[in-house]
Structure 1
Amino acid sequence: MSHGDEQKLSYPLPRPAALEPPAEWTALRRQCPVARVRMPSGDEVSMVTRYADVKQVLSDSRFGRRLDAPDAARLSDTESGGVFNNEMATVLPQAGEAHLRWRRLVGKWFTARRMTALRPRIEAMAHRLIDTMVEDGKPADLKASLAFPLPVWVICDLLGVPEADRDRFAHWSDSMLNLTRYTQEQVDTAQAEFNAYMAGHIAARRAEPSDDLLSELIVATDAEGRGLSEAELVATGQGLLVAGHETTANMIAKMVAMLLADRRRWERLLADRSLIRSAVEEALRFDTNLGLGMVRYIDQDVEIGDALITGGTTVLCDMAAANRDETAFDGADEMDLARNPNPHLAFGAGAHSCLGQSLARTELQTVLGVLLDRLPSLTLVVPAENLERVDGLVVGGLRSLPVRW
């Protein structure tokens, strides 16, 4: 099938309910794996939905992350085209040896040893938030009470940010990640406030290093004896915030919603805590609301499967659709809490796979364990099909998660 034969779809695709996949996914994977899709901006992209094809694009360095090419698609109708007009894209190296060097420097922090050491702190944060939620009484919104604040606390902890500044971080994260809720002026203001804050915070850490990621990066040097510049440090702090807050906050809420949508799943975990790790991986695979997916730009003709992608095309990799590919996963539409192996693409693939995935996994596993211990009778207040999605986010999520216990 050639690149332009299919009917035009509008993104995001409609879905029957918040936790359900779009009806078109199965047909697209089978009949139209490279589909022309119109974005909120009105521009078109080529959407890839098969597991093998998504993995191929994400692992092929010819598909670049530079979305500022003159003929690259704009994703939303803000000036920045929905790709936050931020330091990350312009300051941090996006390819080659410089990108690998940056990933090595930052990635040193996300070791298994560090994550194990962080777990008790995440547990303590989760307990504090649940204490407050229980005190306030039921029903409660688990997203607002636990899922949203927890990852901000964790990232602020990583960056050595004082507790008093956590709420500002949450606001900046939301402003820089929403494609429709804020004006360009509001996004720019959040960006400027965040940059000014981080520059001051970095100066303070340089004068007085502590046991946090930023302090370590400030004093870290590579083989040539060169660490990160001031601008790179600010961009790294922003990258961790935008990449690590909203995504994990939404995933905590979606994971709990999926487990409570069929009570047998929650009961199974209550009976067998050893399934927590594989249950988290399955929630990541099973999630239909990963959000925008990963966007790439190609400046030359490339074949994907049996389709030709022409140079000058913006490609949208729909990892959530790929994670439901029945050719890659047996019983792809079933949530199997013991699924193993589970090579899902929720964190991407290739040179730009999610740097903080070990942190996200640690947060998800920890918060799930604490919830099972503290609130074994947890249940949804509304039927799962009545849960509402948040529209406009680069990362997809639920508007709220009403629960009782």
Structure 2
Amino acid sequence: MSQDHGEQVLSYPLSSDSALEPPADWARLRQGCPVARVKLPSGDEASLLTRYEDVKQVLSDPRFTRQLDADDAARLSDTESGGVFNSEMARTIPQGGDAHQQWRRMISKWFTAKRMAALRPGMEAMADQLIDAMIDAMVESGRPADLKAAVGFPLPVWVICDLLGVPDSDRDRFARWSDALLNLTRYTQAEVDAAQADFGAYMSAHIAAKRAEPGDDLLCELMAATGADGHRMSDKELVATGLALLIAGHETTANMIGKMAAMLLADRSRWEQLLADRSLVRSAVEEVLRLDANPGIGMPRYIGEDTEVAGVVLPRGTTVMCSMGSANRDEKAFDGAGEMSLGRTPNVHLAFGAGAHSCIGQALARTELQAVLDVLLRRLPTLELAVRVEDLRPLEGLVVGGLREVPVRW
């Protein structure tokens, strides 16, 4: 069977009535239209997958590639370059096959659970400092604090800057550049190009300085590392890797810290449950990741040959959008899929993708989220949202989803 062309073409990303609630279309599509036609911000069409099994299948299938610069691939954004997925940075890092796996192996040694556990005391100390500053600011102003701006944003930037040996005094510049590269609608082509050029120039200068005076950080280790075939990363590859890790390493987690707090405080009994039993922090983080209704656009993939998914033939040249957020609420994969169960285990969600391209920094993200949640529970047990849940405002246009701010008091 081929795709139903009678199905209406939905605008993508799908919209929701509330920042913490899933788009109503997710459940409808999972039920009746597992391969749906959608129109991206660029105006190009793609196929959207919403069921757990289908999303997992495509993310794990090497025939579905990240070759989003193919002539017949859909452009994601309304800028010609197609945003971060289709940038020069994305093309410099090998996107598939053995070369990509070798790149991942060189990077992933730095992102093991063991290494992240060693970084955790530093993360907790940083969270404590940020909470001190947030408390002082609220006492001074008498107004609710923005947890995202005060804690959610600076903490992951500090951690990734530390890993890369980059001065975190430059983090405001990173924020501006990565926003331009991750936003599908807000910036012109000229602004995206300028951000990419400035970010690239900054990272090139940083790598040159590291070559002259090596330190104990990820980039210095990569300069010296050789792959299985004796390959060493070129400066161009090091720049692209540094940019990719800076963008991926802060924007997603910064948004997730804010969303995590909002989701747990949206129903105060969840917060009380965690206060009563701190051993739930680890599984609560996994459940928040699973239930995230605002994860961004999902994972784009390109197929270079006719392929069947969910009984539908996707013609070669199709760009597929994998909605991990919808897949994670699939009733066939999770009991009580729409409910938050803080002790849920096992929890085989797809928030970090699946297969050969699953998120390389997932141990880092998990450790940051657990560390922040632990410190918030210890320092601010009376924490609560300072606005109604329905008044939380989603970020618009970003590849990764988030909230504009998370107003809190205690």
Q: Which of the five TM-score ranges fits, normalised by the shorter chain?
A: over 0.9
Where does the alignment leave 5 or more consecutive residues of structure 1 unmatched?
none
Secondary structure at the counterpart of residue 109 of structure 1: helix
What aligned pairs does 1:70-219 form with structure 2 within 5 A after superposition? 70-137=71-138, 138-219=143-224
Q: In structure 2, do the counterparts of structure 1 residues 87 and 117 end up closer, same or farther at CA, with 3 Å as the change threshold? A: farther
Residues 12, 39 of structure 1: 8 Å contact kept: yes
Amino acid at match of 1:82: G
Within the alignment, does 1:364 sit opposite 2:369 as a pair?
Answer: yes
Q: Distance in 2 between matches of 1:189 and 1:42?
A: 23
Does structure 2 retain, via aligned residues, the 8 Å contact 1:75–1:83? no
Distance in 2 (CA, whole Å) between partners of 1:164 and 1:372 is 28
Q: CA–CA distance in 2 between the matches of 1:41 and 1:339?
A: 38
Cα distance in 2 for partners of 1:266, 1:244 equals 27
Normalized against structure 2, the TM-score is what?
A: 0.96
Distance 2:104 2:175 in 1: 25
Confirm or deny: 8 A CA contact 2:41 2:185 kept in the other structure: no
| Letter of the 1:54 counterpart | V
Look up the match of 1:11. 12
TM-score by length of 1: 0.98
Q: How many residues align?
A: 405
Question: 1:85: Cα distance to partner?
Answer: 4.7
From 289, 294, 319, give the equivalent of 1:289. Answer: 294
In the TM superposition, residue 224 of structure 1 has moved relative to its aligned partner by 3.7
After superposing the two structures, state which structure 1 stretch, 344-353 or 196-205, moved more.
196-205
**Range 344-353 or range 85-94, more displaced:** 85-94
Determine whether 1:399 maps to 2:407.
Answer: no
Q: Of residues 346, 350, 358 in structure 1, which corresponds to 2:351?
A: 346
2:393 to 382, 388, 395: 388
Q: Distance in 2 between matches of 1:403 and 1:294?
A: 31
**AA of the residue aligned to 1:172:** W
Q: What amino acid is the match of 2:15?
A: P
What are the superposed Cα offsets for residues 279-337 of structure 1, whole Å, 9 maximum, x if unpaired? 00000000011101000111211111111111111100000000000000000000000
Aligned to 2:63: 62
3-state SS in 2 of match to 1:108:
helix
* 1:48 match: 49
Out of 119-128 and 256-265, give the one that drifted further: 119-128
Match of 2:269 in 1: 264
Contact 2:223 2:232 in 1 (8 A): yes
CA contact (8 A) 2:83 2:184 kept: yes
Give the structure 2 partner of residue 2 of structure 1.
2
Q: Structure 2: how far apart are the matches of 1:351 and 1:195?
A: 27
Of stretches 387-396 and 117-126 in structure 1, the one that deviates more from structure 2 is: 117-126
Return the alpha-carbon distance in structure 2 between the equivalents of residues 58 and 88 of structure 1: 21
Deviation at 1:119, TM superposition (A): 0.6
Contact 1:87/1:231 (<8 A) preserved: no
Q: Which residue of 1 aligns with 2:382?
A: 377
Cα RMSD between the aligned structures?
1.2
Per the TM alignment, residue 194 of structure 1 is displaced from its structure 2 partner at its CA by 1.0
SS for the counterpart of 2:65 is coil
Answer yes or no: is the 8 Å Cα contact 1:29–1:325 preserved in 2. Answer: yes
Give how far 1:112 is off: 2.0
Measured in 1, the distance between the counterparts of 2:285 and 2:364 equals 13
Any unmatched runs of 5+ in structure 2?
A: none
3-state SS of 2:308 partner:
strand
CA contact (8 A) 2:79 2:188 kept: yes
The one of 299, 306, 311 aligned to 1:306: 311
Distance 1:51 1:112 in 2: 26
Deviations 1:233-283 (A, max 9, x none): 000011111212111111100111000000000010011110000000000
Q: Deviations over 1:207-233 (max 9, x none)?
A: 222111111111112344332111110
Give the 3-state SS of the residue equivalent to 1:315 in structure 2.
strand
Contact conserved, 1:173 with 1:245, CA < 8 A, in 2? no
Deviating more after overlay: 255-264 vs 167-176: 167-176
| 1:87/1:41 CA distance change after superposition, 3 Å | closer
Residues 41, 78 of structure 2: 8 Å contact kept: yes
Give 1:131 deviation, angstroms: 1.1
Q: Give SS of 1:296's match.
A: strand
Q: What is the identity, as a one-letter code, of the residue corresponding to 1:76? A: S
Question: Quick one: which amino acid aligns to residue 46 of structure 2?
Answer: V
Q: What residue in structure 1 maps to residue 281 of structure 2?
A: 276
